[in-house]
């Protein structure tokens, strides 16, 4: 069996994003963290089906100095304790840093693939922003766009548009995740 994974964006997919002026923002602390409805069930079902669950997240507020590494680490520790995640890969950089790990570049995915011996053609990316979808496409994964109607650039190409992680998991599990 191939080593397959579901790569998950954090804010807006796993936990509630704070939407201001039509744009999503991350929680500032564990106290603000709210795991979205259906996430735990979706992750347990995907895990039971043999998928590795990999959190991939841009957290540029660290690089911008508007949050701390410790705050983001505490949120990730809480999620790792509460959910059946296999690994967490995070980019702390802003666009100006031009790093390979910041989505839309596929660096977080390729790092996980290399470390965990995963096969991208058998894997999925689930995200709520164009950067997530573009990173997944560049890495060779099938993609799910969780569409919240943000007032920002939308992804140009994705395999499925859904309203939640649970919807994406149901497609992966029930229909085999094959694009129509």
d(C-alpha 34, C-alpha 27), whole Å = 8
- Per annotation, catalytic residue among 11, 128, 132, 159: 11
d(C-alpha 133, C-alpha 47), whole Å = 22
Report in angstroms the alpha-carbon separations of 29 from 56, 64, 67, 110, 118: 18, 16, 9, 28, 31
- Per annotation, catalytic residue among 9, 128, 132, 159: 9
114 is catalytic: no
Exposure string (b/e) for 53-64, b if CB count within 10 Å is 16 or more? Answer: bbbbbbbbbbbe
Q: Catalytic positions, please?
A: 9, 11
């Amino acid at each position: 069996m191939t080593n397959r994974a579901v790569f998950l964006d954090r804010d807006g997919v796993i936990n509630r994003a704070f939407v201001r002026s039509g744009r999503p923002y991350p929680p500032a602390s564990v106290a603000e963290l709210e795991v979205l409805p259906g996430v735990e069930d979706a992750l347990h079902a995907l895990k039971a089906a043999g998928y590795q669950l990999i959190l991939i997240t841009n957290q540029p507020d660290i690089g911008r100095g508007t949050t701390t590494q410790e705050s983001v680490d505490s949120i990730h520790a809480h999620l790792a304790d509460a959910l059946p995640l296999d690994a967490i890969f995070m980019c702390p950089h802003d666009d100006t840093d031009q790093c390979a790990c910041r989505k839309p570049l596929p660096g977080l995915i390729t790092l996980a693939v290399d470390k965990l011996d995963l096969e991208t053609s058998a894997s999925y990316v689930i995200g709520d922003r164009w950067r997530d979808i573009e990173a997944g496409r560049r890495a060779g994964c099938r993609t799910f766009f969780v569409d919240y109607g943000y007032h920002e650039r939308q992804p140009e190409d994705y395999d499925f548009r859904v309203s939640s992680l649970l919807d994406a998991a149901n497609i992966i599990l029930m229909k085999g995740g094959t694009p129509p």
